[in-house]
């Protein structure tokens, strides 16, 4: 038995909500994927804060209109599954999960999608998968910021050390306040 009108309206509302809340949406051709493989992919995507969903293209188009994400409609042709990267997810990790699954199983061809409000094509999703993850990028940025600070701290340490040596020499010579101390 097919979906009732009520079922379809519910799906459109759910997908529209996911589209509105997602910071990225990737469309992939899912031909040939088994239920077990889909579950494996869902698990990997969940680690990246993303969800994998197969929805009829006509319903996904209606949801795209409802969510104001019309740019997505151009990739909704043929067997298409959507990967929704939630507000707390990482689009790079989601793209990496898709790329890793694709390498391992020779399935899932990226079609395109949205990154923020910007439409992206399949090549851009593949390039996104090649980027370092958010945590790694933050670590690299912190390292770049810390390098000059480390240099400043080292210089200040040397200045303080030099000042301490000079004060010690003055103390040893008995010079305090410009007068010679009597011993």
The stretches of the chain forming alpha helices (DSSP H) are 5-21, 35-47, 57-67, 91-105, 122-130, 134-173
User: In this model, does residue 134 exceed pLDDT 80?
Assistant: no
- State residue 83 phi and psi, 5-degree precision: -110, 115
Which tens digit of pLDDT belongs to each residue from 151-160? 767 777 777 7
Q: How far apart are CA 26 and CA 111, in angstroms?
A: 8
Give tens-digit pLDDT for 37-91.
999 999 999 999 999 999 999 999 999 999 999 999 999 999 999 999 999 999 9
pLDDT of residue 39: 95
Q: How confident is the model at residue 180, as a pLDDT? A: 54
Topology of domain 5-131 in CATH is: Alpha-Beta Plaits (3.30.70)
Give CA torsion, residues 43, 92, 49, 18, to 10 deg.
-110
Supply φ then ψ for residue 85, to 5 degrees.
-95, 110
Is the separation of the CB atoms in 94 and 134 below 8 Å? no
Q: What is the maximum alpha-carbon separation in the chain?
A: 108
Higher pLDDT, 168 or 55: 55
d(CA 52, CA 48): 11
Kindly report the average pLDDT of the chain as a whole number.
Answer: 87
The residue among 135, 47, 49 whose CA lies nearest residue 87 is: 49
2 vs 133 pLDDT, higher one? 2
What pTM, to 2 d.p., does this model score? 0.71
The pLDDT, as a whole number, for residue 96 is: 94
Specify the pLDDT at position 175.
61
Q: Are 86 and 122 in contact (CB under 8 A)?
A: no
pLDDT tens figures, 94-124: 999 999 999 999 888 999 999 998 999 999 9
Residue 183's pLDDT is what? 47
């Amino acid at each position: 038995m097919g979906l009732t009108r009520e079922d379809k309206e519910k799906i459109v509302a759910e997908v529209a909500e996911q589209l509105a809340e997602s910071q990225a949406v990737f469309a992939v051709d899912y031909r040939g994927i088994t239920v077990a493989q889909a579950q494996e992919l869902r698990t990997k995507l969940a680690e990246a804060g993303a969800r994998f969903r197969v929805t009829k293209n006509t319903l996904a188009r209606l949801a795209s209109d409802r969510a104001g994400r019309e740019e997505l409609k151009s990739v909704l042709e043929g067997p298409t599954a959507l990967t929704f990267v939630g507000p707390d997810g990482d689009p790079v990790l989601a793209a990496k999960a898709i790329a890793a699954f694709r390498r391992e199983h020779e399935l899932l061809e990226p079609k395109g999608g949205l990154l923020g409000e910007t439409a992206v094509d399949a090549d851009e999703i593949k390039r996104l998968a090649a980027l370092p993850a958010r945590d790694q990028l933050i670590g690299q940025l912190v390292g770049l910021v810390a390098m000059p600070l480390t240099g400043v701290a080292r210089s200040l340490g040397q200045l303080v050390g030099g000042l301490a040596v000079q004060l010690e020499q003055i103390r040893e010579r008995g010079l305090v306040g410009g007068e010679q101390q009597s011993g």
